[in-house]
Amino acid sequence: MTWVVYGLLKILVTGRTTLLAPSLVSCYYDVGGVELSITSPAFSQLLAVELSVYAPKIVHDDSFPIIDVGGSVSGIAAAGISFGIPGIVNFNEAKYNLSTGSGLLPVIQSFAGSTARPGTNGTRLQFSGGATLRNFTVYQQGITADVNCQAATSSQLLNFTNSNTTLGVTPSGSTSPAYTLIAWNTTADCNSSSTTTQQYVTWANASGQPDVSGTGFLPTIVCPGHVDASDVYSRFVIATQGFYKYDFLPLTICEVTPLVTITRVDYTAGGIINASQIISNQTFSPDDTYLLFYLAGVVNYHARNSQGLMNNMIGDTLYSVYSGEDNDPIADNTAEVFRELEDYWRGVIEFTATFLRAGYSAEGAFQDGIPSNMTSPLNGTMLMVTIGWANRGPIYIFSILPLGIVTLLTTIAAIYSLVESWKE
């Protein structure tokens, strides 16, 4: 009898705990929507018009400083990931786990970053969309790149040449030069019908000799068109070579093949946008010619502006990231340097795509919202964690059955007592 009473008491405790102490319950809901598709034919036509308007202008608006800084930060983050360095990038107060997550734009408002309206310099973006504080997994369109860098073979040389002229700079009142400027003329035959030229200026001492250990020169030519007239226009080429303190990088050809992706994006605690997996990818189609021109143009702008009088930001990134994580001399590990350079340019491409997508997704970019022929579908899952009781099947009801019987009998007894008291 004692064991029977003990068992009934334990069942009563279990039932009471079940009712009074609910547990965490996970609820899943399907989500859907649309976002700007920067590879849609309609957007490609719009981009063609925009590029034709702005390309001839020498002075551009505030977008270029953003590209200059953001592209560098994204490239550095991407290059460091392969060496175990955290790659979180903050753009417009939105936090990405790597570069800008395969050229993504956040579609969940609570992860979208700043909602302040653009100021006088036009550097703030306001996004529209639904609001939620839950965790999401969404499949979105992204832009990344397959970048392959290697030492140039005889068939890839592009007749890449660097010629220079020195100019001594003599201060007023002096008869001898204080220092020398070296004017460089870098050329490459991007195809059989055109030669691309880039000019640079570097610093040297009064004798015209640069400081080999402190001065770095990394000339770069971007070939935005067909290298071979028979090629389908789906990629472009970057030619570069390091001099002085960057001489660890030989004459190098990087083939950049942009890719349109479907990417799994996780929006989780901490507010970080995690591009966790590329589900599928494909190369650009002929409709994406102007997008390819845009990407190549930004890479060219970035490469040109990275070179200063005494150093190059890209060269310094390659050297510092490598030196911070590897003890072998950098000149003895060209393969790792190539891998860094590949990741760097991929990061720049991804930021460029995010920047373009952000500009045309911002509030007011289109008078009546993004046109339907410029959108791509979104789908995914929302995970909501709450407190409640889970449905664990009919057997689970037995854990609360004893408590239910006792409660029912107690209620009947109370009602019976009230009725009897009224009779008296």
- What is the mean pLDDT of the segment spanning 61-89? 56
The pLDDT, as a whole number, for residue 36 is 87
d(CA 257, CA 188): 20
- What is the mean pLDDT of the segment spanning 167-185? 86
Q: Is 37 left (phi over 0), alpha (psi -120 to 50) or beta?
A: beta
- What is the mean pLDDT of the segment spanning 236-251? 91
- What is the mean pLDDT of the segment spanning 125-133? 40
More confident of the two residues 348 and 129: 348
Task: Produce one character per residue of 149-167: b if its CB has 16 or more CB atoms within 10 Å, e if not.
Answer: beebeeebebebebeeeee
The segment with the largest mean pLDDT, out of 102-106, 166-170, 195-199, 258-262, is 258-262
Query: What pTM does this model have?
Result: 0.76
Looking at the chain, the whole-number percentage of residues with pLDDT higher than 70 is 67
- What is the mean pLDDT of the segment spanning 81-88? 58
d(CA 310, CA 59): 25
Which residue has 């953003």 as its token pair? Answer: 66
The pLDDT, as a whole number, for residue 5 is 47
From the number of C-beta atoms within 10 Å of its C-beta (0-12, 13-18, 19+), residue 133 rates as exposed
CA 314 from chain centre, in angstroms, equals 18
Model confidence over 24-57: pLDDT tens digits? 667 778 888 888 888 889 988 888 888 777 654 4
Looking at the chain, the whole-number percentage of residues with pLDDT higher than 90 is 11
d(CA 149, CA 152): 9
CA 319 from chain centre, in angstroms, equals 23
224 and 230 Cβ atoms separated by less than 8 Å: no
Model confidence over 318-354: pLDDT tens digits? 888 777 666 677 777 788 889 889 988 988 888 888 8
Compute how many other C-beta atoms are within 10 angstroms of the C-beta atom of residue 387: 9
* pLDDT surpassing 80 at residue 8: no
Compute how many other C-beta atoms are within 10 angstroms of the C-beta atom of residue 312: 27
d(CA 345, CA 290): 19
* pLDDT surpassing 80 at residue 7: no
The torsion angles phi and psi of 66, rounded to 5 degrees, stand at -65, -45
d(CA 89, CA 80): 12
Cα dihedral: 169, 170, 171, 176 (round 10): 140
Which residue has 């983050």 as its token pair? Answer: 77
* pLDDT surpassing 80 at residue 356: yes
More confident of the two residues 47 and 392: 47
Q: Beta strand pairing status for 94-96 and 272-283?
A: parallel
More confident of the two residues 223 and 402: 223
- What's the mean per-residue pLDDT of the chain? 75
The pLDDT, as a whole number, for residue 220 is 92
The pLDDT, as a whole number, for residue 62 is 43
d(CA 111, CA 123): 18
The pLDDT, as a whole number, for residue 97 is 65
pLDDT band at 285 (very low <50, low <70, confident <90, very high): confident
- Runs of H (alpha helix) within 40-114: 41-54, 63-81
The pLDDT, as a whole number, for residue 124 is 40
The pLDDT, as a whole number, for residue 126 is 42
The torsion angles phi and psi of 128, rounded to 5 degrees, stand at -110, 155
- What is the mean pLDDT of the segment spanning 90-115? 65
pLDDT band at 189 (very low <50, low <70, confident <90, very high): confident
53 and 326 Cβ atoms separated by less than 8 Å: no
- Runs of H (alpha helix) within 306-383: 313-325, 334-361
Compute how many other C-beta atoms are within 10 angstroms of the C-beta atom of residue 127: 20
More confident of the two residues 175 and 40: 40
Which residue has 């930021």 as its token pair? Answer: 351
Model confidence over 289-326: pLDDT tens digits? 888 888 888 888 888 888 989 998 888 888 887 776 66
Range with lowest mean pLDDT among 101-105, 241-245, 318-322? 101-105
pLDDT band at 147 (very low <50, low <70, confident <90, very high): very high
d(CA 134, CA 163): 58
356 and 50 Cβ atoms separated by less than 8 Å: no
